[in-house]
A and B are shown apart, each in its own frame.
Chain A
C-alpha cells in the first residue's frame, strides 16, 4: 500500500512538472512573442519567432507528461510504473531537444527566450528524465 502511495506521489509530481512545462514558455519565463516580438513578413503578417514554435511544441509535450502522471495515479502497478517511466524519459529528452536541436530558439543571445526560457526548459527536462529514470529502476 505504501508503495502505491509513493507511486501516486510521483504521478502527482509528474502532472505538476507537465503543468510547469506548459506554463514556462507562456507565463513563467515567456518567449519573445509574449514580450511583443514577432517576425514581420514583407506583406505585414506577424509570425511567431522560432522560440514561439518551440513554445507550442513544449505545450504539447507538457500535456503528454500530465497525462503520464494521471495514468500513474490511476493505475500504479509495476508494469504501468515502468512503462510510464520509459515514456517520461523520452518526454524529458524532447523537452530538452525541442529548444536546443529540433526547433531551437532565437539566435540572439540577449532575447528573453535564450536568457530564461531555454535554461528553464533544460532544467525541467533534466528533472523529468530523473523522475522517469527513478520510475523505471525503482526497487520493489
Chain B
C-alpha cells in the first residue's frame, strides 16, 4: 500500500514537471546559475589556497628571505614561475642562521635559463641548492629513498618535459634528470633544482659552450629559506632578520596567501556578488512563478482534494516539485562549472596569475554540497507562498467557480 502511495506521489511530481517544460527549464537555468557561480567562487579560492599550502609544504620554509629590491621578482618566481636571475648585494646571509629561533637556513641561487630549451617553450627557472643545508629537496629525497642527487643531477618540476633518466642542456651544460616533483600549481612546477656547485660549473663553462655567458658572483645567493624553531613566531624572526641583514625582504606563507587573495579578490568578489544578486532576484521571481503555477493548478488541486488528498500531501507535492527543479538546476550548474574549471585550470591560473591546483575531492564535494543546499533552500523559500495559497483555498468553491 505504501509503495503504491510513493509511486503515485513521484509519478505526480514527474508528470507535473513534464507538463510545463519551458517554464521549468527557465527555473532550472536560474538554479544552475546560482549554484554554478557559488561553486566556481569557492573552487577558485580553495584551489589557490590548496596550491599555496602544497607548494609551501614542499618548500618546507617558514620564511623566505630575498633582496629587498627583488621582492616582487622573488614572489613571481615562487607563485607563478616567472623566471628571474638576481643576487643579494653582499654575502652576509650567514648571519641569518645565527639569529636565535632560526632552526635552519638554506641559501638558494635563482638562474633564468636561455630561450630555446629542449624541455620547454621558453626559459625555465634553475634553483641551485646547497645539499648540506637544504630542506626543500632533502625532504623529497627522504620520501624517495631510491633517488640521490649527485654531480650534474637535476630534479625537475612537474611541468618540465623530459623523462627521468634523460638529459637536459642548460647554458651548454648537460644535466641528468633523476626525479620529478609532484604538481603544486605554483612556480615550482616550472623549476629545475640542481646543486650550487653544478650551477657554478655551468656558469664557468657558459662562456665557451653557451650563446650568452652566465655570471654567478662568488659567495652570493638569491634567497635564503628559513625554518624557525617550534614555538617561535615567524613574524618575530622576520623582523629580526630585517634588522640584522639590511636590504632584505621577508616573505611568509600567510603573506603570500594575502597576496594571492588580493589577486583573486576581483574575480571571487564578482562571483560571490553574482551569486548574491542572482539569489536576491530569483527568490521573488521563482516565488511568483510558483504562485502562477499554483493558481493555474487550483482546479487540479481541488480534484486531488476531492479524491482524498490532504492539504499536507498537496504542500509536499509543491515542495517536491520545487526541490526537484532546484536539485536538477544545481547539479547542472555544478557539472558545467566543473567541466570548465577543471578543463581550463591551467588557462585560469595563467590568466589570473595565481598558483592553482584542483582542490581535494572532499573539498569539491563540500563546495558542491553548499551550492546544492543554497539552491534547495531558495527552492523551499520560493514554494512557501504557493503552499500558503493552497492551504487557504476552499476546494469546493474552486471547483464550483470553474477555475482552471
* Chain A residue at minimum C-beta to C-beta distance from B340: A123
A110 adjacent to B350 (CB under 8 Å): yes
How far is B161's CA from A114's CA once the two chains are assembled, in angstroms? Answer: 13
B339 adjacent to A123 (CB under 8 Å): yes
Shortest distance from the beta carbon of B39 to any chain A beta carbon, whole Å: 17
Answer whether residue B346 sits at the interface, using C-beta atoms and an 8 A cutoff: yes
How far is B346's CA from A37's CA once the two chains are assembled, in angstroms? Answer: 19
* Chain A residue at minimum C-beta to C-beta distance from B190: A110
Interface residues of B, CB < 8 Å — how many?
Answer: 16
> CB-CB < 8 A to B121: which residues of A?
37, 106, 108, 110-111
B343 adjacent to A108 (CB under 8 Å): no
A115 adjacent to B161 (CB under 8 Å): no
> CB-CB < 8 A to B161: which residues of A?
107-108
Which A residues fall within an 8 A CB radius of B?
37, 106-111, 114-116, 118-120, 122-123, 126
Answer whether residue B347 sits at the interface, using C-beta atoms and an 8 A cutoff: yes
> CB-CB < 8 A to B159: which residues of A?
108-110
Which B residues fall within an 8 A CB radius of A?
119-122, 159, 161, 189-190, 339-340, 342-344, 346-347, 350
> CB-CB < 8 A to A37: which residues of B?
121
A116 adjacent to B120 (CB under 8 Å): no
Question: How many A-B contacts at CB < 8 Å in the complex?
Answer: 37
A115 adjacent to B344 (CB under 8 Å): yes
> CB-CB < 8 A to B342: which residues of A?
119
How far is B347's CA from A45's CA once the two chains are assembled, in angstroms? Answer: 30
Classify the interface of chain B: helix, strand, loop or mixed. Answer: helix
How far is B343's CA from A120's CA once the two chains are assembled, in angstroms? Answer: 7
A119 adjacent to B343 (CB under 8 Å): yes
> CB-CB < 8 A to A111: which residues of B?
121
A114 adjacent to B339 (CB under 8 Å): no
> CB-CB < 8 A to B343: which residues of A?
118-120, 122-123
Residue A119 contacts which of B190, B347, B350 (CB distance < 8 angstroms)?
B347
> CB-CB < 8 A to B339: which residues of A?
123, 126
* Chain B residue at minimum C-beta to C-beta distance from A109: B159
Residue among B119, B161, B347 facing the most chain A CB atoms (10 A cut-off):
B347
Shortest distance from the beta carbon of A32 to any chain B beta carbon, whole Å: 9
* Chain B residue at minimum C-beta to C-beta distance from A112: B347
Shortest distance from the beta carbon of B68 to any chain A beta carbon, whole Å: 29
> CB-CB < 8 A to A123: which residues of B?
339-340, 343
A-B residue pairs, 10 tightest by C-beta: A119-B343, A115-B347, A107-B161, A109-B159, A108-B121, A115-B346, A119-B344, A116-B347, A123-B339, A123-B343
Known contacts A108-B119, A109-B346, A119-B344, then 15 further A-B pairs from the complex at CB < 8 Å, ordered by chain A residue: A106-B121, A107-B161, A108-B121, A109-B159, A109-B189, A110-B159, A110-B190, A110-B346, A111-B121, A114-B346, A119-B343, A120-B343, A120-B344, A123-B339, A126-B339
Shortest distance from the beta carbon of A120 to any chain B beta carbon, whole Å: 7
* Chain B residue at minimum C-beta to C-beta distance from A115: B347
Shortest distance from the beta carbon of A4 to any chain B beta carbon, whole Å: 18
Shortest distance from the beta carbon of B2 to any chain A beta carbon, whole Å: 29
How far is B404's CA from A62's CA once the two chains are assembled, in angstroms? Answer: 49
* Chain A residue at minimum C-beta to C-beta distance from B345: A119
How far is B2's CA from A80's CA once the two chains are assembled, in angstroms? Answer: 44
* Chain A residue at minimum C-beta to C-beta distance from B341: A119
> CB-CB < 8 A to A109: which residues of B?
159, 189, 346
> CB-CB < 8 A to A108: which residues of B?
119-121, 159, 161
> CB-CB < 8 A to A118: which residues of B?
343
Residue among B119, B159, B189, B346 facing the most chain A CB atoms (10 A cut-off):
B346
* Chain A residue at minimum C-beta to C-beta distance from B121: A108
> CB-CB < 8 A to B120: which residues of A?
108
How far is B384's CA from A14's CA once the two chains are assembled, in angstroms? Answer: 41
